[in-house]
């Protein structure tokens, strides 16, 4: 993707055109939203908050116009652009000023925590917000279920459980998307201006201890409390553990860099993710526990 990064850095109009084109294409291919966000993250990282802000403001306006022409929804397109680019701009500015991935990642996770608290503050019953969407997605599948399958019993059990934690899951997915976009932008910056810098920076990624202790706190609250308090606490764990998931991958990559025999485990982990998504849990636990166990040093060859 070096040619794309080089094109974005040619000038302001190139960055705006790339960001808008990728954003429009992401309406059909969602993965491209990561590149659309990275397209404004790169010039922000390289040229600063002011230049990034101009690019984002112009891109949002242009995307609104395109949304009106293509799908008849200017407001929806503007909202999508704000959700896609504003958090990216803020985290990129923090990364540029601090020079630390950990600080920017911590901000991203904090945004996810704030989102959970905001939703529970604005709506008395957040699970009900997600039930309609779940019904729209799973309804056709349940209608085609075999006659012996008790669709009503499954739906009542599944929807009640999943809807309670959809706020946290959606928040965590947005945190992961934001962090991945920031990583792409940082990688592009390293490819163009600092070859090899991104790898070294990612391998030494460590998150501030406050996030690990915050995770311990919400887990204790979830176990000790009941009702809405326990539900909120469990939802808060999702954006926090999304942060630890990235730390876990950093630990694995660092171990592979120090001991090539770990490579088969790393490859196996990525392959497993395609078929067994629950693999993310032990990876996140590795990142969570790294504060106390320092896995990079503990498992590195002497």
Domain boundaries, the chain: 1-99
Q: What confidence tens digit (pLDDT) does each residue in 173-211 have?
A: 999 999 999 999 999 999 999 998 999 999 999 999 999
Report which DSSP code applies to 208.
-
Angle (nearest 5°) at CA 203 between 183 and 189: 35
What is the reported pTM?
0.93
Whose CA is closest to 46, among 13, 5, 87?
5
The 3 state secondary structure assigned to 172-194 is: HHHHHHHHHHHHHHHHHHHHHHC
Q: Considering only CA atoms, which of 45, 49, 51, 50 is closest in space to residue 13? A: 51
Task: Tell whether the model's pLDDT for residue 296 goes beyond 60.
Answer: yes
Cβ atoms < 10 Å from Cβ of 166 = 20
Q: How confident is the model at residue 302 (pLDDT cuts 50, 70, 90)?
A: low
pLDDT at 1: 81
Q: What is the pLDDT of residues 69-108, one digit of tens each?
A: 998 899 999 999 999 999 999 999 999 999 999 999 999 9
Dist CA 231 CA 259 (whole Å): 42
């Amino acid at each position: 993707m070096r040619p794309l990064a080089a094109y974005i850095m040619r000038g302001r109009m190139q960055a705006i055109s790339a960001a808008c084109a990728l954003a429009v294409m992401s309406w059909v291919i969602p993965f491209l939203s990561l590149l659309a966000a990275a397209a404004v993250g790169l010039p922000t990282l390289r040229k600063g908050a002011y230049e990034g802000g101009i690019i984002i403001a112009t891109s949002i306006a242009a995307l609104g116009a395109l949304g009106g022409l293509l799908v008849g929804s200017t407001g929806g397109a503007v909202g999508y652009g704000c959700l896609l680019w504003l958090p990216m701009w803020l985290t990129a500015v923090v990364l540029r000023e601090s020079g630390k991935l950990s600080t920017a990642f911590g901000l991203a996770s904090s945004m996810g925590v704030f989102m959970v608290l905001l939703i529970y503050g604005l709506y008395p019953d957040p699970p009900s917000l997600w039930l309609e969407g779940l019904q729209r997605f799973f309804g056709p599948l349940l209608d085609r279920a075999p006659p012996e399958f008790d669709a009503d019993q499954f739906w009542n059990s599944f929807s009640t459980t999943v809807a309670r934690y959809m706020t946290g899951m959606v928040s965590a997915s947005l945190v992961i998307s934001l962090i991945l976009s920031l990583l792409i932008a940082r990688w592009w910056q390293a490819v163009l201006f600092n070859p090899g810098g991104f790898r070294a920076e990612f391998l030494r990624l460590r998150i501030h201890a406050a996030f690990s202790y915050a995770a311990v706190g919400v887990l204790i609250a979830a176990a000790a409390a009941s009702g809405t308090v326990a539900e909120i606490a469990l939802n808060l764990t999702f954006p926090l553990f999304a942060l630890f998931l990235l730390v876990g991958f950093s630990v694995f990559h660092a171990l592979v860099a120090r001991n090539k025999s770990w490579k088969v485990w790393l490859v196996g982990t990525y392959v497993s993710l395609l078929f067994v998504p629950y693999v993310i849990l032990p990876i996140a636990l590795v990142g969570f526990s790294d504060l106390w166990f320092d896995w990079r040093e503990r498992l590195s060859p002497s």
